[in-house]
Structures are given as structure tokens and as C-alpha cells.
């Protein structure tokens, strides 16, 4: 495929934030009387869609924006210590050579993403950073990115680690490469029917070439 734009999700796709996110969630859970998430719970939770996860944790959708905002703010103080997904730093420069537009679309903040990429010496490869304050708002932003850069739908590829990333790509009419090193499990990602599945960062090169 000849993609002109390669767009990444951030948490779980570029940044290995799963354990830090779990710790931050548990701090908030104690404050709001929510269910705690133990490390051994993650294998079970990885098979869930976003709605299933919220139902399981008894989190109202009305509470999600405030939790997301507070969690993002708490992560900012720790972002410089978050590791990159192993093997991605070596692959990103080669991926960048295959696309005119190289960006990030995330539910995290652009400030966090910018600091993370700066810390890992990769900010210069990315042409834009974009964020949405809604966990389910990515389809609208993907269409906006397509319009901003005057691209056809088949010229964009979104790379993400969650079922909701695949659903957003489907809704926007663009291809999605699902990566198995993030939150959702291989089987749950496959069931959501992405265009591609990558189990190792280097496999992304085969996809874009």
C-alpha cells in the first residue's frame, strides 16, 4: 500500500503506558470509590471493548471525561520516565521515509506526547500531533486530518492498539494496523477486523512498503 499519511495512537502503541495508567487509575479509583484493578486482572481486561471495560468497572460514561482529564494531568508528571515500546525507536525513522505526513492522534494530551517524543529523541520525525478529549472521538478527527491534508481515504493508515482504534478507522473509512503489544489482546483485535495486525514493530515496515 502507498500511504501518504501514517498516524499513530499514543498510549500502548508508541508509549508503554499500561502499568503507569493502571497505577494512576487506582489512585483515582480510591478517590471516587471505583473498583481497583490489580496487575493480574489485565489479562482478563485485555479482551474487552471500551464499553465492556466501563461496564465491568462500573464507570458511568458521564464520569469518563473528568477521569480522562485528571489521568492525563497526572501522567504529565511521569511522562519523561515512560518507556517507548521496545523496537519502535529503531523503526520510526524508516517508517517516516515512507510517508509525507507522519503524526499522532491520541486521547492523551499533545503536551504529553510532545514531551515523550522529545525525551526519546524522535520529535523531529512527526509532522503533527493531535488529540481528542473523547475516548470515542477519533473517527471525526481522522476525517478532519484527511480533509486538512487533502488526502483520499485510502492514502491514510492509522496504527493503534485498541478495539476502539479499529472502530474509529472503520467509521472514518481508512485502513487500520492493529498492534498486539498494547492494551487489547490479539484475539480481540482480530475480531474487530483491522486491515493489518502487527505483532512486532518491524512488521509495520512490511505493511507500509
Q: Is the pLDDT of residue 102 over 80?
A: yes
Q: CA nearest 135: which of 173, 105, 103, 179?
A: 105
What's 43's DSSP letter? H
The answer as to CATH 3.40.50.1000 being correct for domain 5-16+84-208 is yes
Q: What pLDDT is attached to residue 164?
A: 95
Q: Is the pLDDT of residue 4 over 70?
A: yes
Q: CA nearest 2: which of 99, 144, 145, 128?
A: 99
Q: What pLDDT is attached to residue 1?
A: 60
Q: What pLDDT is attached to residue 182?
A: 96
Give me the active site residues, please.
Answer: 9
Q: What pLDDT is attached to residue 170?
A: 98
Q: What pLDDT is attached to residue 133?
A: 76
Higher-scoring residue by pLDDT: 139, 135: 139
Among 69-78, 133-142, 160-169, whose mean pLDDT is lowest? 133-142
Q: Is the pLDDT of residue 22 over 80?
A: yes
Q: Is 84 helix (H, G, I), strand (E, B) or coil?
A: strand
- Encode pLDDT of 163-195 as tens digits: 999 999 999 999 999 999 999 999 999 999 999
Q: What is the DSSP string of 136-182?
A: T-HHHHHHHHHHHTT--GGGEEEEESSHHHHHHHHHHT-EEEEETTS
Listed in sequence order, the residues at least 6 apart from 81 whose beta carbon sits closer than 8 Å to its beta carbon are: none
Q: How far apart are CA 88 and CA 165, in angstroms?
A: 19
Confidence class for position 209, pLDDT limits 50, 70, 90:
confident
pTM of the full structure? 0.94
Q: Which three cell numbers stand for residue 91?
A: 523503526
| Domain edges within the chain | 5-16+84-208, 18-80
- Average pLDDT estimate for 22-27: 95
On average, the pLDDT of the chain sits at: 95
Amino acid at each position: 500500500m502507498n500511504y501518504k499519511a501514517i498516524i499513530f495512537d499514543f498510549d500502548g502503541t508508541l508509549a508503554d503506558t499500561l502499568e503507569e495508567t493502571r497505577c494512576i487509575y487506582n489512585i483515582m479509583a480510591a478517590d471516587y470509590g471505583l473498583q481497583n484493578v490489580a496487575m493480574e486482572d489485565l489479562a482478563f481486561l485485555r479482551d474487552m471493548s471500551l464499553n465492556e471495560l466501563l461496564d465491568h468497572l462500573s464507570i458511568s460514561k458521564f464520569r469518563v471525561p473528568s477521569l480522562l482529564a485528571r489521568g492525563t494531568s497526572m501522567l504529565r508528571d511521569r511522562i519523561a520516565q515512560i518507556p517507548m515500546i521496545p523496537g519502535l525507536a529503531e523503526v520510526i525513522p524508516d517508517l517516516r521515509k515512507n510517508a509525507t505526513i507522519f503524526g499522532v492522534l491520541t486521547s492523551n494530551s499533545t503536551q504529553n506526547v510532545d514531551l515523550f517524543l522529545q525525551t526519546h529523541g524522535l520529535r523531529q520525525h512527526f509532522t503533527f500531533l493531535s488529540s481528542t478529549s473523547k475516548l470515542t472521538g477519533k473517527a471525526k478527527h481522522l476525517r478532519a486530518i484527511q480533509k486538512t491534508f487533502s488526502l483520499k481515504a485510502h492514502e491514510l493508515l492509522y496504527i493503534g492498539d485498541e478495539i476502539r482504534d479499529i472502530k474509529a478507522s472503520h467509521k472514518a473509512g481508512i485502513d487500520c494496523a492493529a498492534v498486539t503489544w498494547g492494551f487489547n489482546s490479539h484475539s480481540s483485535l482480530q475480531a474487530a477486523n483491522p486491515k493489518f495486525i502487527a505483532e512486532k514493530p518491524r512488521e509495520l515496515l512490511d505493511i507500509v512498503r
